[in-house]
Structure 1
């Protein structure tokens, strides 16, 4: 699928699959202005940390093409894309990586943006293979029943996906029992997008309301939880879609492995702990109704964080393209010399 792309067409444009229309319609946006890119990011027409990184890079390329003789304006326009959502690391990284070629002209900025997209395919392949290997090692007794939240497949991460990509790897190996997908309120990315991707791939799946996830863990219906990440602090604390923290607490209580799959660039060494992660709060309209139908009293005050932060000690591991980063809270993990792991990166 074309999720994030570029069109030279009659006018340079960033091309996005509009994820707000799925699963009922497949529609594409041709964005010829930076304003359009910013709006698409803020309204979740495009989403998922890795794909936001690619969108940021192409947004910088669009700014460079629209202001070819004015690098200062091009840079300022591109930085607006970088600030469109505050929590996910890759968005700003994609913008700034592409802008590093601004002195070489618009074509060079576009070439770097395309390189960001290509690199994502390699990253996803490595991370999902590593995660699938870990899940098989942790759950060897039967086809694995996974629980996930939000959407971490191709729609969010590009070809190969991240957490959902690990599930697809297990499916290819004949090691997957089913995926139980939380609906992911308030915008239903799990119900609308994850289920759509699983159905397209022929993967056995079921849907549950968010609050049923902990019950599934408590009653032995899940062998492992696998999720993505938008930002990971230097100590391993993970910001991910709201609802992740409650699943991590329930998994820890039930003794079920909890694995985060994300690109290495999601780790932010400049943020010491999860307490320093800025969590985006979104508009009240997302909670007051759905599909144009009011679901509560008009004017009701709303708390609508897009993400929550899960402490590293609740995780079994963070898996990237380069490593398995295991929590010191798991005494079963050992280094090659036999000593227990601590909250630090463990290369495998």
Structure 2
């Protein structure tokens, strides 16, 4: 392969003389079209460092409430982080999501905290909330000073709690009596919180430790009414933000194909893979930009927002999976075996993409767009 002549697929930003600047990820596909070079430089300084990435998330927390007002700014930032390092992006994204949720709920935010959002509720695990001082679901009555430390208490287990060993606070969903699950804010340094990371054994995102957290009479404050977390417009918007990170990661993987084309002339098969990656990444970028505009213009609430999020996440996930496959086919085993940065990025993105539930999420998208069933006439001519 060698240098391509497609100027739409350049990596890095350019000045008016056409010289590439040095402050952007030189590996990422078409970074100048969608990335933030200043943020890329800051993220590069903490790439792969979870605690450093937590500090970065806190320092840029003012960006989070821009979702709904200047949404592309947030999506561009998330894509930039994904292109630089997925460990950093995976650390920053939930903190920003939590701040956006708290802003939407007009809920106070403790100064200097670092946040996660934990909403998984697989069968066989239960985290329940009860008013402090009342009889809890597991026979707990809550701490004697519960009303001073929190309005409610949480007891039970919560799986899939990312970065629980690095964060100070979390927003968690819990079941409550006589209603849908409710969202709670909780301080993780309470003595009733215990973190078990022993099951975490991935090949990608190794340092983004995901644990099972046990809560025993832990004070918590409700955020919104029961069911509000899933019903609010921002739930769909946050899901699109995750897709923006996938896009950035895929753009970085694809960039390896372009960098190879600069040093070895591409044959017809290589050109096919370059063209296919260009097409799917451009389509994903257009989908993300369209989604940001729809959110800002008030066209992504309720059912419209759910449909938009399902569609955009499916588009970006499909593009990212195609990029992974095509770059692997084009470059063979060499970069996966001999280039630690590329191999790590592929492993990280492969795992992160599984937050999209593939065929199940496509079936859910189909249910959102399926037309109503038309009545068919019976044998006697009456509609049934």
Q: What's the TM-score once normalised by structure 1's chain length?
A: 0.28
Between structure 1 and structure 2, the one with the greater Rg is: 2
Report 1 or 2 for greater relative contact order, CA contacts < 8 Å, sequence distance ≥ 6: 2
